[in-house]
Structure 1
Amino acid sequence: MTDRVTVDVKGEGTRELEFAALEHDGDVPTYTDALAAVDLSPHEVSVLVDGRPVPEDQPIDSETMTVLRLIKGG
C-alpha cells in the first residue's frame, strides 16, 4: 500500500500528492479526492490506472494515475 500518488494529467504535467494532504472521508482517499487536489472535476476527466479506466469513487490503490481530459464537441 502506498501513501502517495503521482497524478499525470496528460498534456499538463504531473503532481505528487501525499495522502495526508488530501481531504477524504474514508481510510484511504479516492481518485475523486486526488482530482480535487489538482482542481479537476470527475465530470470533465477520465482516470486510468495501468491503462484501464477506474471509477473515480474507488479508493486509490496505485502509485500512479493518469488523467485524460474529456473533449466536448459542438
Structure 2
Amino acid sequence: MNVTCEVVGEETTTVSVAADATYADLCRAVGYSPHEVTVLVDETPVAEDAPVETDRVTVLRLVKGG
C-alpha cells in the first residue's frame, strides 16, 4: 500500500507499507520513531497500533533535536 505522508514544516513523501501495517510501521517507514511524532488522518490523531486505512496522512513532529 502506498501512503502519502506530509511531514508538517518539512516535506511530503510517499512510502510503501505492507497491507497489514500499523501507523507505528508507517512512522518508521518515514524515518521517525512513533514516540516523536503523531499521525493525523483528516486532522484527527490516530493510535499508533491502529491499522493504516488511508492513502494520505499528516505527520506532526513532537520532538526535534536532541
User: Do Structure 1 and Structure 2 share a fold, with TM-score over 0.5?
Assistant: yes
Q: 1:65 aligns with which of 43, 51, 57?
A: 57
Over aligned residue pairs, what C-alpha RMSD do you find? 1.7
Give TM-score scaled by structure 1 length.
0.76
In the TM superposition, structure 1's runs of 4+ consecutive aligned residues that sit over 6 Å from their partners are none
User: CA–CA distance in 1 between the matches of 2:63 and 2:24?
Assistant: 19
The residue type equivalent to 1:33 in the other structure is: D
Q: Residue deviations 1:36-58, cap 9 Å, x none?
A: 11210111111100010000111
Give the corresponding residue for 1:7. Answer: 5
Give the corresponding residue for 1:24. Answer: none
Give the corresponding residue for 1:49. Answer: 41
Q: How many aligned positions are there?
A: 64
Give TM-score scaled by structure 2 length.
0.84
Higher CA-based Rg? 1
